[in-house]
Amino acid sequence: MSSDSSSYKVAIIGSGPAGLSAAARAAELGIPHILIESAPDISNTVNFWYQKGKHVMDEPANMPLRSSTKFEEGTREEVLQAWKEDIDRLKINLRFNSALKAISGDRGAFEVALANGEVIQAQSVILAIGTMGNIRKLGIPGEDHPAVAYKLDDASLLKGQRIIVVGAGDSAIEDAIALSKNNKVTVINRREGFDRAKSRNAAAILRAIQNKEIDCIYGGVPESVLARTGEGASAEMIVESANGSITVPADLIIIRAGAMPQRKLLDSLGVGFPNEAETAFPIIGEGYQSTRAGIYIVGALAGCPLIKEAMNQGYEAIEFIEGRSIDPADEGLLEEVLKNLPDYRGVKEALTDLKTNVPMLSEVTTLVLREYVRESELLFLKAGEVLYKPGDYAQGISAILKGSLALSRDGNASERNYQYTVGSLQGLTSIKSGLPQDVWSIALEDTVLLETPLRASQKLFNSVDSIKKTIDHIFTRRILLRSFVTLLPEDSLLEDINEMHFDALAGDVELMSLKAGQVVYQEGAVTDAFYIIRSGAVTLSRDFEGKTQVQHLISTGEWFGNDEIFLGGNRLDTATTTSRTEILKLDASKLMAVLARYPSIQHAAERRARNMLLKEQQKSTETNTSAVISFLDETGVVEGTNVLVIDEALCVRCDNCEKACAETHGGISRLNRKAGDTFATIHVPVACRHCYDPSCMKDCPPDAISRQADGDISINANTCIGCGNCVANCPFGVVQLVAAKPPEPTSLLSWLLFGKGRPPGQETEHLHDGTTSKKAVKCDLCVHQASGPACVQACPTGAALRKSPDQLVRIFEASHLNH
Amino acid sequence: MKFRIRHANQAGQPEDHSTHLVFESDNLRIGRHPENDIHTDNPHAADFHGVIQVARDSGLATLEALAHSGILVNGKSRKIATLKPQDIVSVGHFHLRILTPDAEHDFEAEVITPEEAQAHLLTLDQGNRLIRWIKAKLHQLHVRPVAWFAVLLTLLVLFLIPLISVYVPSLNHFLKNGSPLMRAMSATSWSVGPVSRYHIRIADDCEKCHSDGAFTNVPDKACNACHEDIRHHFNIDDIKVTGNPMPMCGDCHQEHIADNFLVLGDRVEQCLQCHADIKKIAPQSELQSIPADFSGEESLLAEKHPEFVAAMVSNHEEDHPIVTRVRMDDKEHLKEHSGLRGFSHKDHLNKDGILAPDGKGGAEIMKLECWSCHKPDDQRVGMKPLTFEDHCQRCHKLTFDGLAPTTELPHGKADKIFTFLKEFYARSPKGSRIDPPAPPDKNDRELPGRMISQGSLDFDQPEVTLDGYAREMTQRVFEKGVCSECHEPLKPSNDVSEWRIVKPKFTEKWYPAAKFEHKAHDLYACTGCHKVESSETPEDVNIPAQASCTECHDAGDSTCLKCHTFHKDPQFNMKGTRFAPKAEAIKPWHGNRSGGEPDGVITPTPKQP
Amino acid sequence: MNRSFIRQDQFLYLKIALGLCCISIFLYVVDDPVGPPSGNSWLGYTLGTVGTLIIVWLVWFGVRKRQYTGTRYSLTRWLSAHVYMGTALLVIGTLHCGFQFDDNIHTMAYILMVLTILSGMIGVYYYLTVPGLISANIKNSNAQQLHETIDQIDRKALEIARQIDSHVHEMMAYTIHTTLKERRHPSKKVLMDMLRVGETIKEASKACYCSLTKEESIAPSDTPVSDLKQKDPSDPHMRLSAIIIDLSFNRSPGEKLQQLLDLINEKATCIHKLHLDRVYNRRLKIWLMFHVPLSLATLIALVIHIVSVFYY
């Protein structure tokens, strides 16, 4: 298509479901439009990131589709085919290979600049660029050669080929190493080293290059890709290097030059964000309009990861641009959620009530609120019914719409320790800290709650700054209250304690975001504050004759640095973070002021501090504990909530743990006993630790990873798309991407007697044919088994333990390790 | 020489000639040095590692190692090797496979991957596949084959071999004479315990007892084959069993328990199984039922054990003795009618002594003790039988005529008395007789024999005939003295020559099924058990009853078998019962027991005079 | 050790087993059977039945160990109970037979049972001692890492050897190649060779050090060089050490040689560790080669024993 200076009514950026739907609606209405796509094909995400043959779902099933294009549940190919037919049918003005560079001008007269220098005039712009990012292309001639690819589906499918991998990042290295086993791989690295990659990856590829398993052209700049005629490879790449121009033949060229960051682009477009968080979504007002008037945001970028919803948004955006007010497509859904409310009058009224009753929601925009409510459901509790009990992990937050709840330590509502009324939020502390509940929450009267799942809640927290602040405040207050509760003798009640007394204290916190290994305070420093860990962990260590010995491990939700306040005097320990840690710092004098109201707590705290000091003096003679804690710290055990540890003094290396895991998990063991770190006889095998702050969960496009009520982090196999983000993000390497043959049923007896059939516990083969999509799998704590994790259950000698880090410290402390 | 070296192609990939090296040279050098023809940068290769030459005439390729360590041909280190197609030449991780050269080239080889080389090398030593397989299995520590081996070996040793040796005696014999392990494989190895010493001589011959074959119980007929004349424990015809099988030998006799153990019945409970309610099993039995709670240490024999029942000879008048069972506490019937009269233990055992008639021993007064008459038999089990001649005659002389004080009637020959007297008086003619002197007896004690001469009838009277006097005397002897003093006359008619006396029949075995030995009771005084001091008549039964035994014997240390004995009753001889064996079935191993009189049988045969 | 199967549930299963033994012994002492004590009394039958049940249950462990789903009690508990009940069987079995031994299958079955229990005891001993030995041998590492270390040493050694002398390099390459395959499962021979090389090299390095520092000179005749050459001239390891020692005396040894010696030494240490690791790991499994077949043989013998006893 030639460079045209004609003006369009609407320019749609991104041909994903949302963009396509918008363009289709525009085409249908005969509105002058242009659909701009940076890739050479439509719908980058579906096209590139989805595996071949992947089944595309049309969730939420009850939501009506409102679009001019078809969309039905089916394979990736069917969906794409339907869209392509619609593009032809509706004559959508579509332009490929056109990346957005900038937008200037104002509503009614935007100038959309493309990467290739073209400028397009448009009155409105719809941004439907998704969240997966723009794949960085090389921009060299011949880039569209069929041998050029931007991702690797399954390295094991390729054999005996000559492959070029362009790039020096982690993904490039991983691809290259995976391919080098069966293929001749050449890596083209623009730089002279692999310093951008993780150290493990860098070491691996340097070793491979040294062993001549992989060729590497350092300082190589790809010049062009040429089709190759005749025998041999189908293409060749001309690479400019220090030694001149080199021609490298290739059957496949994989370009792993990374993806363009979204945020930067969006910031440059002047789209407003509620906060600086990487994961934050742009602020979207009525009619999908962003903070920059005339620029509309729809689809995944609008925080809507589902295809059908995105398509609806695209459709609706065009309607809004056309000036038509349209009932949101989710009206029916909202009604479904809210209709059981007492004195329900209509969706709009109910939402207004919600805003007035729940202070947290008062400042939320209607669009966000609608989505929030849509994801939620009403929960009706009769008087005396239990919302949660100690040990439960919160699944989300619940706002009290009617009635009240009592918090009780012993499950008896009448002896309540604290009471929550309309507007309060439940489950907040658990969600924020990743800790289980430690009290009972019981309905005092007939109570109605709006229960919202974790993801929707977090989206809300991240999208509205004020909410985030409020939530943090409430969280701090509650965690303070909770910490004080631990000081109280078991039998005393909290009746007299008023949460609001902690309000001032909580309002005056300083949030410290620290990296691993940072010192919070030094031994001997002046005691002026105490700390509560919001996420991460801290070790308290002490200097003994020049040797640093770790005394304590403080994990999420606990407080530290308070003992010195009660004892008086300077710091006795040095506090160091073990991992990325968020700490709330509170002023010591304010704490004492609050405590002055509660002399019994104060006494208890002082007594505890004195006892602690005594115990510590005994402990200082035992270097073992210190070493153990250091080890657990270094290996990241402390980041977990439930860690598999093997006591090698007992482990007879029978691998029954792995077999049990494989047998109970579709033939794939989710733990590797041999791998992992060892200290003395403590071995931490490679297995999921169910971190407080799970890295795997951070970047999961379908939001398939979540913390369950039992505390385990689990991957939903139905929604997992096999993107591998969790595999890459997990610092402990516990997530695997597998497509495995379903294990054959086996008769134990026939195997025992004759060796026939599959040995019990044998891992099944991975499928290499690519017909089944890969899924991320990892330890699920065997929640389906009443008797607990199969690995621990199947350990004959009691060597395998699955415990929380502090339990582990206690266990190994008790066993007086000798080494 | 034209050499061609190909780089291996992956299967299915088009051949790429650019990767082929073709050069002409005298030889082909392999090494790490750049001057080599095949230059490998493999660090494992020497600078000049080897050289390949091809003979012009034969076309044979020869490899010579330049490196000291040699060069690997098919996995083995060689200094010089002739190369055939498909040989693998290895230098570190660098592998060359020799190919058959085409017409254009003299030598051709391809570079292959270590995996291919490994796979190829494996195919080369196919020959040792089995050994390799076994080695691999052993290396992997596979338990299953070993377990199978152990299981099958166990089956063989503990089941099959013993089973075969049951049927193959020569094998059994061989095994029996071997080591303990071999003996454990013999037919007897299934034996559940040691064979008792009574059967030790047939212990190796399982079939002797298990005559119905292996895995069967021992039938009674197998026992009877040897023990054919053993008496039954009971009268087989008395047993009325409904529903239960007939009691078998094995019910009381158990083998394979211990070498000195055979009778299971030495156990109150065992006997009680039948004897607790004996009438149920044998309605006609005269045996008393034993209280069912007669067991354990708590029950005392004195309280629970029924009173003894004596087997008393009751018909002294008949030729064949009839044994009557009388409970020892049945005082009314407990009278021994032996046919003897006038005997008193009390008188004989007078503490002051009794008058000795002949004054022998220098004293007129003689003190009798029990042992004066009752002498133990040789086994010191019972007592020797008393005889008139040995025990009575000294005092009780059978003199009948005061004029002939030394002449005695013959004892035990009642039928001859009349003839004897007739002859006696025939030899002493009338008038030749003189009055006897007055007796010296101060006590006026009548001694036998003296009275007879003082009768109203005098032989010297003329009207008295010899025959008549003899008859008279015979009558007197039978009725008034001498004989009748101790015996009952038997008068079938008025003809005295036909008169006899009732032969006394004593009960020899009071408790025929009891094991009693005087030997074991030596320490105790006779009168402790036999209360004879007050016994005045020969009808008194002075055999001790239960109380006497239970004074010392308690249930705790006395089992049934301590006192009771079995298989002694001649009535219940197995011959003729349904258990009688077929004679030819099994020959008894000992001949000495067959035939002959069994010992300890109650045969109160009349005493031969 | 607090969580070991030996101490499981505060010795609960030891207590149960002891209780069972005590009851059995008490009954055995109290019981006054017909004839001598044997399996042929009510106590004998009782003990026999209990023993049989225990044996079947013990053998079932092999199945239970492989049942990974739907299990109620942890395998640790099972093993603990297995160990103690198996030991108790020694008492129960002996009392069952009433110390009657003979050359028959019953005693054979008993002997098999005792052997099984003894092999089990060896297993327990190994299970309690060997894991610690493995950890102590390969400190804070694992076999995989050791292999990697050796790979690295090999690479470095080859590089250094190449810089020293082409002969040394050849021999080094050859020894590496010959040990490469066997290293995964170091055979005794290769290992012994490596250890000998290590010892020789240690001597050589001493000498090397001396000649480097010129502190003291050791005549080549004092070294085992000639010895080595004669001993096994075809053994590449021996030849390598011979060449190295030769070099260290006859030419200027230099820093490189010392480095090479250090590397070979280090490799020998690693291989020794690997060997020990293999020995220990085999020890953990090898006893099962006896225990499992013996236990199955015991089961078969038990069946034969029961059948024969009940048939007669």
DSSP letters along B467-496, please?
HHHHHHHHHHHHHTSTHHHHB-EE-SSS-G
Within 8 A of C5 by CB-CB distance, chain A residues are 650, 796-798
pLDDT at B266: 59
Predicted confidence at residue B575, as pLDDT, reads: 46
Domain boundaries, chain A: 7-134+261-328, 148-257, 332-463, 499-621, 633-814
User: B19 to chain A: nearest residue by CA?
Assistant: A232
The pLDDT tens digits for B106-156 are 888 888 877 777 777 777 655 566 777 777 766 677 788 889 999 999 999
Q: Calculate how close chain A gets to B1, using CA atoms only, in Å.
A: 28
CB contact under 8 A, B150 and C297: yes
Check pLDDT > 70 for residue B64.
yes
**Cα separation of A265 and B45, whole Å?**
55
Among residues B562, B544, B416, the alpha carbon closest in space to that of B477 is found at B416
Alpha-carbon distance of A152 to A142, in angstroms, equals 19
The two structure tokens encoding residue B63: 């490899």
Residues of C in contact with B49 (CB under 8 A): 170
Comparing A332-463 with A499-621, is the CATH topology the same? yes
Question: What's residue C303's pLDDT?
Answer: 93
Q: How close, in Å, is residue A53 to chain B by CA atoms? A: 26
pLDDT digits (tens, 9 = 90+) for C273-311: 888 888 888 888 889 989 999 999 999 999 999 888 876
A469 touches chain B (CB under 8 A): no
Give helix then strand counts, H and E, for chain A.
23, 43
At B340-366, the pLDDT tens digits run 888 888 888 888 888 776 655 455 777
CATH of A499-621, one of 3.90.1150.10, 3.90.1200.10, 3.50.50.60, 2.60.120.10: 2.60.120.10
* Residue B599 pLDDT greater than 50, yes or no: no
Paired tokens of B197? 């010493």
* A244 shares contact with chain B (CB less than 8 Å): no
What is the model's pLDDT at position B590? 33
Looking at CA atoms only, how far is residue C117 from chain B in angstroms? Answer: 16
- Name every chain C residue with its beta carbon within 8 A of the beta carbon of A213: none
Measure CB to CB from residue B14 to each of A232, A752, A755 and give the nearest one.
A232
CB contact under 8 A, B191 and C177: no
Q: In whole angstroms, give the CA distance from residue A792 to residue A784.
A: 14
pLDDT, position B587: 34
Q: Does C205 touch chain A (CB under 8 A)?
A: no
B68 vs C84 pLDDT, higher one: C84
Q: Are residues C281 and A653, on separate chains, in Cβ contact within 8 Å?
A: yes
The answer to whether A250 and B16 are in contact (CB under 8 A) is: no
The per-residue pLDDT for range B446-503, each reduced to its tens digit, is 444 444 444 455 666 777 778 888 888 888 888 877 788 888 888 888 888 888 888 8
Q: Which chains does B contact via 3+ CB–CB distances below 8 A? A: A, C
- CATH number, span A7-134+261-328: 3.50.50.60
Chain A hits for C12, Cβ within 8 Å = none
Count helices and strands (H / E) in chain B. 21, 20
Q: B327: helix, coil or strand?
A: strand
Which of B11, B16, B41 comes nearest A232 by C-beta? B16
Query: In this structure, how many other beta carbons lie within 10 angstroms of the beta carbon of residue B112?
Result: 20
Going from the C-alpha of A707 to that of each of A235, B134, C14, the distances in angstroms are: 47, 51, 41
A164-168, B82-86, B594-598: range with lowest mean pLDDT? B594-598
Rounded to 5 degrees, what are φ and ψ at C14? -60, -40
* CB spacing of A160 vs B144 below 8 angstroms: no
Q: Are the beta carbons of C132 and A681 separated by less than 8 Å?
A: yes
The radius of gyration of chain C's CA atoms, rounded to the nearest angstrom, is: 30
A798/C76 touch (CB, cutoff 8 Å), yes or no? yes
**Considering only CB atoms, which chain B residues are within 8 Å of A757?**
none
Specify whether the CB–CB gap between A707 and A721 falls below 8 A.
no
pLDDT in tens, C105-133: 888 899 999 999 999 999 999 999 999 89
- Could C34 and B72 be called an inter-chain contact, meaning their C-beta atoms sit closer than 8 Å? no
Task: Give the integer Cα–Cα distance in Å for B137 and C37.
Answer: 46
Residues of B in contact with A755 (CB under 8 A): 144
Neighbours of chain C (3+ CB pairs under 8 A): A, B
Q: Do A650 and C68 touch (CB under 8 A)?
A: no
Residue B221: how many CA atoms within 13 Å on its side-chain side? 12
Nearest to A212 among B18, B41, B144 (CB): B41
B17/A231 CB distance under 8 A:
yes
* pLDDT score of C204 more than 70: no
Q: Which of the residue ranges A128-132, A774-778, B45-49, B562-566 has the most confident prediction, judged by mean pLDDT?
A: A774-778
Cα distance between residue B180 and residue C303, in whole Å = 22
Tell me the chain C residues in contact with residue A783 when contact means C-beta distances shorter than 8 Å.
none
Give the one of B143, B254, B266 whose C-beta lies nearest to C288's C-beta.
B143
Chain C residues with CB under 8 Å of A652 CB are: 126-127, 130-131, 284
DSSP collapsed to 3 states, B217-282: CCCHHHHHHHCCCCECCCCCCCCCCCCCCCCCHHHHEEEEEECCEEECCCCHHHHHHHHCCHHHHC
Q: Give the span between the Cα atoms of B95 and B72, in whole angstroms.
A: 9
pLDDT at C186: 55
Residue by residue, DSSP assigns A47-72 as: IIISPTTPEEP--STTSPP--SS---
Percent helix, strand and coil across chain C, each rounded to 5?
A: 80, 0, 20
Distance from the B102 Cα atom to the nearest Cα atom in chain A, whole angstroms:
22
Measured between beta carbons, the chain C residues lying within 8 angstroms of B254 are 34-35, 40
User: If you measure CA to CA, which chain B residue comes closest to C155?
Assistant: B43
**Environment class of B507 (CB within 10 Å of its CB; exposed 0-12, middle 13-18, buried 19+):** buried
| Residue B411 buriedness (CB in 10 A; 0-12 / 13-18 / 19+) | middle
What pLDDT sits at residue B438? 46
The CATH architecture one would assign to domain A148-257 is 3-Layer(bba) Sandwich (3.50)
Please give the residue of chain A at the shortest CA–CA distance from B8: A160
Q: What percent of chain B has pLDDT over 70?
A: 73
Nearest to A540 by CA among A615, A465, A652, A463: A615
The answer, for C2 touching chain A at a CB cutoff of 8 Å, is yes
C71 in reach of chain A (CB within 8 A)? yes
Q: Look at residue B577 in the predicted model and tell me its pLDDT.
A: 39
Q: How many CB atoms lie within 10 A of CB C131?
A: 24
Radius of gyration of chain A (CA): 29
Query: Does C268 score more than 90 pLDDT?
Result: no
C312 touches A at CB < 8 Å: no
Q: Do A798 and C281 touch (CB under 8 A)?
A: no
What is the model's pLDDT at position A230? 59
Helix axes of A465-487 and A599-619: crossing angle, nearest 10 degrees = 80
Chain C interface, best mutation among B189, B262, B263, B270, by max C CB count within 10 A: B189
- pLDDT per position as a tens digit, B237-260: 666 655 555 667 777 787 777 776
pLDDT score of B311 = 81
The whole-angstrom distance between C15's CA and the closest CA on chain B is 32
d(CA A541, CA A623): 12
Determine the Cα–Cα distance for residues A347 and A343; give it in Å rounded to an integer. Answer: 12
- Which comes out higher in pLDDT, residue B535 or B571? B535
Higher per-residue pLDDT: A593 or C202: A593
Q: What is the pLDDT of residue B424?
A: 83
- Interface probe, candidates C40, C66, C102, C241, chain B, greatest B C-beta count within 10 A: C102
Record: contact C35-B192, CB cut-off 8 A: no
Residue ranges of chain A with per-residue pLDDT less than 70: 1-6, 48-55, 57, 59-62, 132-136, 153-154, 156, 199-200, 229-233, 258-261, 277-279, 409, 411-418, 432-435, 462-465, 485-500, 615-625, 768-772, 813-819
Q: What is the DSSP string of B535-585?
A: --STT---S--HHHHHTT--TTT--HHHHB--S--GGGBSTTSTTPPPTTT
Domains, in order of start, for chain B: 2-124 (2.60.200.20), 347-383 (no CATH), 414-435+444-500 (no CATH)
- Cα separation, A813 vs B16, in Å, equals 65
For residue C193, what pLDDT is reported?
65
Chain-wide mean pLDDT for chain B? Answer: 73
Considering only residues C84 and A141, tell me which one the structure prediction assigns the higher pLDDT: C84
Q: Which of A749, A797, A816, A818 would best serve as a mutation to test chain C binding (most C beta carbons within 10 A)?
A: A797
Asked if pLDDT for residue C224 goes beyond 80, the answer is no
The residue type at C33: P
Token pair in block for residue A167: 């790039």
How would you label C67-105 residue by residue, b for 16+ Cβ within 10 Å and e otherwise?
ebeebeebbbbbbbbbbbbbbbbebbbbbbbbebebbbb
Q: Give C-chain residues touching A650 at CB under 8 angstroms.
A: 1, 3-5, 127, 131
pLDDT at res. B443: 43
Q: Which of A736, A726, A723, A729 is nearest to A667 (CA)?
A: A736
* Residue A382 touches partner B, C-beta closer than 8 Å: no
Put simply, whether A230 touches B (Cβ < 8 Å) is no
What is the C-alpha separation between C108 and C114, in angstroms, rounded? 10
The partner residue sitting opposite C34, judged by closest CB among B181, B217, B266, is B266
* Chain C residue at shortest CA distance from A679: C140
Output the pLDDT for position A55: 64
Res. B574 pLDDT band, cuts 50 70 90: very low
Put simply, the answer to whether C134 touches A656 (Cβ < 8 Å) is no
Between CA A342 and CA C234 the distance in angstroms is 96
Amino acid at A796: P
Residues of chain B found within 8 Å of residue C34, distances taken between Cβ atoms: 254, 257, 264, 266-267, 270
- How far, in Å, CA of B143 to CA of A751, rounded? 12
| Residue B408 per-residue DSSP state | B
A332-463 maps to which CATH number?
2.60.120.10
- Chain B residue nearest residue A183, CA to CA: B10
Q: CB distance from C142 to chain A under 8 Å?
A: yes
Provide the terminal-to-terminal Cα distance of chain A, rounded to the nearest Å: 74
Q: Report CB contact under 8 Å: B147, C173.
A: no
Q: DSSP labels for A625-693?
A: HHHHHHHHHHTTGGGBSSEEEEETTT-----HHHHHHHHHTTT--S-EEEEEEEETTEEEEE----BSS
DSSP-derived letter for residue A426 is E
**Residue A15 carries which side chain, given as an amino acid letter?**
S
Bigger pLDDT: C66 or B265? C66
Contacts of C306 (CB under 8 A, 6+ apart): C48, C52
